[in-house]
Amino acid sequence: MSLAAHALEPAAVGAIVVTPSPRLARLLKQDRALENLRAGNQVWPTPHILPWEAWLEELWEQALYAGLPLPARLDADQELWIWERILATAPEATELLDLPAAAEAAQHCWALIHAWQLDRREIEAAASEDTRAFLGWAREFEHLSELQAWLEPARRADHLATRLGKLPLPPAVELAGFQELTPQQRAFLVALEHRGARVHIQEEPALTPRQLVRVRFTDRPAEIEAAARWARSLLERGEANKVGVLLPDLERLARQVDRIFTRVLEPSAMLPGATTEPRCFNISAAPPLDAQPLVHAALLALELDRARNPLRRICSLLHSSFLGAAETERGARAVLARSLRERGITEISIPALRRTCQQHGCPEMEHALARWTAYDEALPGRQRPSTWARDFSRLLEALGWPGERSLSSQERQAWLAWNDVLDRLARLDAVSEPMKRSEALAWLKRLASRKRHQPESELAPVQVLSVNEALGLHFDALWVAGLDEESWPPAPRPDPFLPLALQRRHRLPHCSAEREREVAQRLWQRLLASAPYVVASWPEQDEDRELSLSPLLRNVPEVTQADLGLSAVPSYAWMPPASAQTEEVKDERGPALEPGVVASGGSRVFQLQALCPFRAFAELRLGAAAVRLFEPGLSRIDRGEAVHAALEAFWRCVASHEQLCARGAEELRSLLVEAIEKALARVRARRDDLPPRLAELERCRLLRLLEKWLEIEKQRPPFRVIECEQRRQIELAGVRAEVRADRVDRLEEDGRELIIDYKTGTCETGAWKPEHFADPQLPLYAVTHNQPVAGLAFAQIKTGDLCFKGLAHSPHLAPGLRSADIPAQLQRWREKLEELGTRFREGHAQVDPLDDDACRRCRMWPLCRVHEAAPAVQENEGE
């Protein structure tokens, strides 16, 4: 093959530039525009620059306008649908673990065979069992295509090549940024030359950058942050206008890269309400469309079911800003979502949700659900995909999607992309039969997840790209990251359906380690020619794996991180204090309560003031409250309350140690079963969705647990239960509180009383120390008790760890108690409690957590921002 070797001027009339990707085509157009602006041009011809697939699409349209007889063209989605149906009816269907993935692999293999013009007889000669299965599917696909006169994308170039003589062709074609042309592409270009068009393949000059260095980092986050700081330093010093940062596995690291580059290059974008447009950097790895909040909300709304909806789905929709009246009812819907969580339900029907909306002041949401219900009830069981696409839009319209506020530029682009996905679903009419709603919705979700959505934005000075996307581009400075031995060159990934020996013989992509190494070497040489200043880097560790430098970079001189002149970028939390205009004001006290005003909050006043004064002020004075996290099944609170309620019911029937010991095992078991039923009835009153099987499991667990606990109770000296879950009002240091002891036992030997608190988790009496008063509930009850106190005890009723823990005048009152001077201890507790109550009334609200555990258990950190006081903010992948 001989292609013309003269460079073309893409702006010439009729000439066309063809690129391997839409992104490169867009960047080349932007570069041409900037060149004209720098030259002082006010008007210039728009260059004809298209990616390869779009160019074939344009030629196909021209053939249609020319009236040429053409087969029915299949798009990639329609072709995939056909492959799936062939595989679903094939003899091997029962052996396929993931039919959609197998169909995608078959579609890819079919495209590979035609792109590399492989001989079918050669494939059959070396066929394995998997290859023979694929060839059977391929024959069925060919038969259906011939029968229906279909043509899929894999054979479009071959079909067009035979009709180029009847099409208006460009005088010249330039290929830019191609790493490698397939035999099919080369054959098409030869046919183009035979029809008189000049073809030029752009080649990068064999240049060596003026400066080339490599540098190592401890891990990937450190490497990515250094690249961002390096790009920032170049922009700050004015040494580069176009900076490239390349990563071989950018798609996998895209979210981490975006977070780090935003923090380093645009820290103000992390503030609430900050705009992110225009940005000084752009990441090429496009996330799937279903990751866009607007589209995610649409898919959640389409999953609504009249009978059963998971609570997480409903709460997500209530918090979404993309439903009707979302701004108007934002507060009421948030309260509604919180109410549903606090009820502990796992599922809710649409009628029940409508009633709840009426009760919580969300009339617009209730009306939207009514419109949705009316339309949903009228839908048939099966329809054509195009009809489902229309009805999906109407269901969303009934709910007011995409919301009442104006959409941002990125949201509007996501809305347009969503409409394109609906069009793609509708186009399945050409190949599919009527389908169920669940099938249509599943296909819609697949189409949204397969579509990569990159919102268009202005040209940014920093481009973060994958390695292949940088081909054909030029930069003032280039950083190539992730060049460890595992990523560069990458491991081979041969096609699973084609014989491996055949793949290696024809040198198919990713067929062997040797080919990957050769491709990596060519790529590296082209990258070196794209910028005068190149930095290569690699991490020494990726999670728990040790990494080494790629062998392709061993001759590159190594420098230290200090030699790169990285920009010092402090955490945004430390920027305001470092500003000369910042005035520091310590405000650690709120307004004191007026004399005579009784503090509200009950015993939590003392507990929270001891844990952290700010938390006490925020929760009890400001009314701040964290949303209860949803727990499927029975939560820890539910299980704890069940234990409390069962023991309360039991001791009201068995009122003393004497009665406990006098009753036989069967009688005690019967009493426990009855008490447990009463306890579970209380749980059902709050959890109307408690499944019977889950209730039965909890019933068995409680019975085993409490039977073992009663054996410990039998080891105590005689006592009589005088109070169970008894509440009473007290006032201490101007704080009025309602206190409750789970149980109070009067000892037969001296009439003094033991105060008991049930705990279903691990507990320690160290929480009673005045200097570490983490749990003052029992001490508060004891110092206000009007009878002689013998001691205080935690009854730790935890599976595998049943015991008493506490203080008493004599340790023999219960196994596990420690001896203590109770009167003196009560006096010390009273003094500490009065101090806490007084400080709460005076408005002391400093951020002063008792310990690290107090911070971990507190959810007021968005208000106190105590974590921002740390010297450095660590990246947290889990958030």
pLDDT tens digits for 534-575?
Answer: 999 989 988 778 888 888 888 889 998 888 888 777 655 555
Q: What is the DSSP letter of 5?
A: -
Residues in CB range of 749: below 8 A, 6 or more apart: 717, 718
Cα 232–Cα 238–Cα 239 angle in degrees, nearest 5: 90
Cα within 13 Å of Cα(241), Cβ side: 4
Q: Which of 487, 392, 466, 578 is closest to 177 using CA atoms?
A: 466
Contacts of 251 (CB under 8 A, 6+ apart): 285, 466
pLDDT for position 585: 76
Asked if 274 contacts 382 with a C-beta cutoff of 8 angstroms, the reply is no
CA–CA dist 686, 342 (Å, integer): 9
pLDDT tier, 756 (very low <50, low <70, confident <90, very high otherwise): very high
Place of tokens 């061993």: 554
Q: What does the pLDDT average to over 368-387?
A: 95
The predicted structure's pLDDT at residue 3: 35
pLDDT at residue number 185 = 93
Mean pLDDT of 792-819: 91
CA distance linking residue 654 with residue 641, whole number of Å: 20
Angle between helix axes 76-88 and 99-115 (nearest 10 degrees) is 120
The angle, 0 to 180 degrees and rounded to 10, between the axes of the packed helices 692-713 and 636-653 is 50
Q: What is the pTM of this model?
A: 0.76
Q: Are 710 and 703 in contact (CB under 8 A)?
A: no
Rounded Cα distance between 512 and 495, Å, is 11
pLDDT value at position 347?
A: 84
The half-sphere exposure of 617 on its side-chain side, counting CA atoms within 13 A, is 24
* pLDDT classification of 581: cutoffs 50, 70, 90: low
Phi, psi of 362 (to 5 degrees): -120, 65
- Mean pLDDT value of segment 191-213: 81
Would you say the C-alpha torsion 683, 684, 688, 694 has a positive or negative sign?
positive
Question: How far apart (Å, rounded) are the C-alpha atoms in residues 343 and 630?
Answer: 10
Q: Which of 696, 695, 243, 319 lies closest to 481, judged by CA?
A: 243
Tokens of 426: 């509708």
Query: What is the structure's pLDDT at 607?
Result: 87
| 731: Cβ contacts below 8 Å, ≥ 6 apart | 598, 737
The rounded radius of gyration (Å) of the Cα atoms in the chain is: 36
Domain chopping of the chain, boundaries: 16-68+163-201, 72-157, 211-286+458-564, 289-450, 636-770+780-840
Q: Which residue has the tokens 């990068």?
A: 204
C-alpha to C-alpha distance for 747 and 808, rounded to whole angstroms: 12
- ∠ CA 610-612-616, rounded to 5°: 90
| SS3 assignment for 279-335 | CCEEECCCCEHHHCHHHHHHHHHHCCCCCCEEHHHHHHHHHCCCCCCCCCCHHHHHH
Q: Is the peptide bond before 278 cis (omega within 30 degrees of 0)?
A: yes
Instruction: State in Å, rounded, how far the first CA of the chain is from the last one.
Output: 55
d(CA 779, CA 766): 12
Helix (H) or strand (E) holding 820: none
The whole-number pLDDT of residue 276 equals 52
Does 764 or 343 have the greater pLDDT score? 764
Count of all residues that appear for the chain in the document = 879
656, β-bridge pairs:
720
Q: Residue 274 — very low, low, confident or very high, per pLDDT cuts 50/70/90? A: low
User: pLDDT band at residue 878, thresholds of 50, 70 and 90?
Assistant: very low
Q: How far, CA to CA in Å, does 230 sit from each of 227, 264, 478, 576?
A: 5, 10, 10, 23
Per-residue tokens: 501: 């020996």
Fold of 211-286+458-564: Rossmann fold (3.40.50)
C-alpha count within 13 angstroms, C-beta hemisphere, residue 835: 11
| 173: β partners | 16, 199
- Closest to 571 in 3D by CA, of 219, 222, 874, 224: 874
Number of C-beta neighbours around residue 740 at 10 A: 14
What is the percentage of the chain residues whose pLDDT exceeds 90? 48
- As to burial, measured by CB atoms within 10 angstroms (0-12 exposed, 13-18 middle, 19+ buried), residue 49 is buried
Which residues 6+ apart lie within 8 Å of 112 measured at CB?
118, 495, 498, 508, 509
272 — pLDDT class (breaks 50, 70, 90): low
Residues 458-498: pLDDT tens digits?
Answer: 678 898 988 888 887 889 999 999 998 888 888 899 999 99
Instruction: Tell me which of 756 and 552 has the higher pLDDT.
Output: 756
Q: How many CA atoms lie within 13 A of 448 on its CB side?
A: 24
- Chosen CATH of 636-770+780-840 out of 3.50.50, 3.90.320, 3.30.40, 3.40.120: 3.90.320
pLDDT digits (tens, 9 = 90+) for 649-658: 999 999 999 9
Q: Is the pLDDT of residue 208 over 80?
A: no
pLDDT at 879 over 60: no
User: What confidence score (pLDDT) does residue 26 get?
Assistant: 84
**Angle, helices 385-398/363-377, rounded to nearest 10 degrees:** 160
**pLDDT for the residue numbered 744:** 94
Separation CA 504–CA 122 (nearest Å): 13
Amino acid identity at 644:
H
Q: What is the edge-to-edge ordering of all strands in the sheet holding 16-19?
A: 49-51, 16-19, 172-175, 198-201
Distance separating alpha carbons of residues 112 and 134, to the nearest angstrom: 13
